[in-house]
Structure 1
């Protein structure tokens, strides 16, 4: 009805006898609803003032705490060809167990007697080195002998020089004596000549004195000649000394030159021997690399190279192994806006994939099925592929132990517990899109962080 008529239906018809109208116009019907809404409002208002724990959520996976316990790919240090497999996928191997054998594909190492030939070359070089050493010793002895011989020869020549000088001195004295005799003979001749002129002496006496004078003059000439000969002997002795020095210096220099040549050959041979020994060691180590062994106890995940006769380059990944004894950890990723809120040593809650959990965000004490952990490290650089920061979490020893059957690579969801704030504040923060409150970690967490950084 459009209610455009001036006639009122309720004035002509008694509507109170109808149940629907009775329910509509009954005022007591609002009391129950008002009570329910009032109670609900009071409860809601009380809930808004309850404490709420802020959290930082992340998504990651299970890994190993130590880098040496994580899955690794064994690589071949040399290029080769697969000859024989000793394991299969899914097998447990111990440290040192042979995984496969490879053969050489480099022509330099084809010789099966490579090690024995290299050892023979080292022996030959040792013999050559010994020869050089003995030659150097012989030359040292020869040099010492030449120096001793030169010393004796020089002493002999010096003695000759002294003798020649003494002879010169002796001849000089004899010359002076002969000249004195000439003077005496001249005086006697003049005196005899005067006496003969006076007739006191015979002419024969004058002639005898003349003969004596001539003999004295002849003796002086002989003495002068002998003195010159002695002086020549002095010069010859000096020349002989110089000749001895030059001759022996030449011989010694030649011996020293031969010695240095031998030393040069000795050092060169030592360098060649060292190189051969290095090659021998390299060949020995390389021969051991043909057998690829397990670096630690582990589980063979997957053979990355398969078949027999397949060739590969150096550094190629051969097989993937997962260590057996590992300390599990969780590697999670958080947004950059939440990074300053996380600190090493702080608690964190974890939900593992495959282990159902009921998690009450903001009331972790009421959560069921979550596991405790502690932050070990917070990465300082962002992962460019994910656009997030990596956080490493270890098991909290004070909480429930992690499930024994979880494996590395399993998914995990993490919730870092932050400040306790009222519910109304958290709703207001969520509506405005604000980050959780920045805060200073507790002293215990800071000391834990400090101890970890200092390696205590």
Structure 2
């Protein structure tokens, strides 16, 4: 009896199809080796926003204070200008409820002092004008008197000249009379008469000289008085000018004090508006760090974070330094985002599912802390739109599209460690075509 198992195990008499299957597999492998393969660079990154004002913003307290009331909670959506919380003062310098009014009263008082000194300056200027006028009048009087004495001096000098002439004539007559007396031609009485005439002429000369000397002394005294008047009024003017400059200094000081106080008033008014912390933009409140009523917040302390409502998303991908020469601006990049299913065929991007298109808009020239170069990818609005419900910080994977080559070339390149072909070369070829 022949067993059926022997017939099923041993196929010696049957024809083999191994050669056919081997040939088919070999031809399929050769065919696959010549299929096109898109070279690419794989990168990792995260979702962010291009504009600074669209990134999560910290809510800071501009002044220290005590929390009085909360108007929001975590997760609330607010609009720009909505009140987040209210705080009150804790510093002794600002506890006075009438601080602004009292400071304004100080301003008004300082302005009154300044007006007083301005009036004093005007009075001093009038005093200076009056002193200058009195000085001019006094000096003019002295000059007139000196001129009168000068005229008197000239008259007395002329009188002295006449007296000298008269004295000379009397002396000649006396000499001749004396000679004639010695010769006996005239009597002693006539000689004595001539002598009396000579003595009278000599007395007139002495009197004229005394008058002339007295007038010269008066002129000298007037000159001294003129100098004394100049000195006196110069001292008065200097003192009055000093008072004026002192008043001007007080006005300048008061002006500075007024400006300082007005600055304080403006600061106090602005500070009053800082008791309410407002939302800087539309968004959602998150990560509130303070709880309850009565807690103290410090100056510039972070209270929470507001996440903007409207965001223009970008992807920040990090490229290895060895791949940096292979990317450029406006280069196409395929992206996948965490939480959004995708089937990716890196060598056949057109066959991938769940990917989103983007373009590189900037490449940073400095290396990041992780040892990679950052490239910023923006949404390609001509292709499939990015998911609208993404969040900042979501993970992103990028595939930078390079040149199309056969699969055998890509395997040969990787075995030999050659870099991929430049995408720019492929672009130039396409433009020529």
Note whether the superposition's TM-score is higher than 0.5: yes
Counterpart position of 1:422: 406
Match of 1:245 among 230, 234, 239: 230
Aligned-partner Cα distance in 1 for 2:318–2:199: 136
Aligned-partner Cα distance in 2 for 1:221–1:265: 66
The CA deviation string for residues 113-137 of structure 1, in whole angstroms up to 9 with x for no partner, is: 1111111111111122222222223
Aligned-partner Cα distance in 2 for 1:441–1:286: 62
Match of 2:324 among 324, 339, 358: 339
Counterpart position of 2:12: 24
Is 2:98 the partner of 1:113? yes
Question: Aligned with 2:287: secondary structure?
Answer: strand
Aligned-partner Cα distance in 2 for 1:24–1:170: 178
Judge conservation of contact 1:164–1:237 (CA < 8 Å) in 2.
no
Counterpart position of 1:39: 24
Which residues in structure 2 correspond to 1:300-315 (within 5 Å)? 300-315=285-300
The CA deviation string for residues 54-100 of structure 1, in whole angstroms up to 9 with x for no partner, is: 22222233222211111111111111111111122222211111111
Is 2:132 the partner of 1:147? yes
Counterpart position of 1:408: 392
Counterpart position of 2:272: 287
In 2 relative to 1, CA 20–97 (structure 1 residues): closer, same or farther, beyond 3 Å? closer
Judge conservation of contact 1:343–1:441 (CA < 8 Å) in 2.
no
Which residues in structure 2 correspond to 1:5-404 (within 5 Å)? 19=7, 23-24=11-12, 26=14, 28-29=15-16, 32-192=17-177, 204-384=189-369, 386-404=370-388
Question: Aligned with 1:24: secondary structure?
Answer: coil
Judge conservation of contact 2:284–2:306 (CA < 8 Å) in 1.
yes
Question: Aligned with 2:38: secondary structure?
Answer: strand
Aligned-partner Cα distance in 2 for 1:181–1:18: 195
Question: Aligned with 1:264: secondary structure?
Answer: helix
Aligned-partner Cα distance in 2 for 1:196–1:60: 153
Judge conservation of contact 1:65–1:327 (CA < 8 Å) in 2.
yes
In 2 relative to 1, CA 135–434 (structure 1 residues): closer, same or farther, beyond 3 Å? farther
Aligned-partner Cα distance in 1 for 2:163–2:9: 189
The CA deviation string for residues 380-439 of structure 1, in whole angstroms up to 9 with x for no partner, is: 33332x443332221101101122222333332221112222212322333455553456
Counterpart position of 1:454: none
Judge conservation of contact 2:403–2:426 (CA < 8 Å) in 1.
no
Question: Aligned with 1:243: secondary structure?
Answer: helix
Aligned-partner Cα distance in 1 for 2:277–2:415: 60
Aligned-partner Cα distance in 2 for 1:308–1:301: 18
In 2 relative to 1, CA 95–442 (structure 1 residues): closer, same or farther, beyond 3 Å? farther
Question: Aligned with 2:246: secondary structure?
Answer: helix
Cα offset, 1:291, TM superposition: 0.8
The CA deviation string for residues 30-69 of structure 1, in whole angstroms up to 9 with x for no partner, is: xx33223223222222222222222222223322221111
Aligned-partner Cα distance in 1 for 2:145–2:19: 150
Give the alignment's TM-score, normalised by structure 1: 0.85
Structure 2 unaligned segments of length 5 or more: list them. 429-433
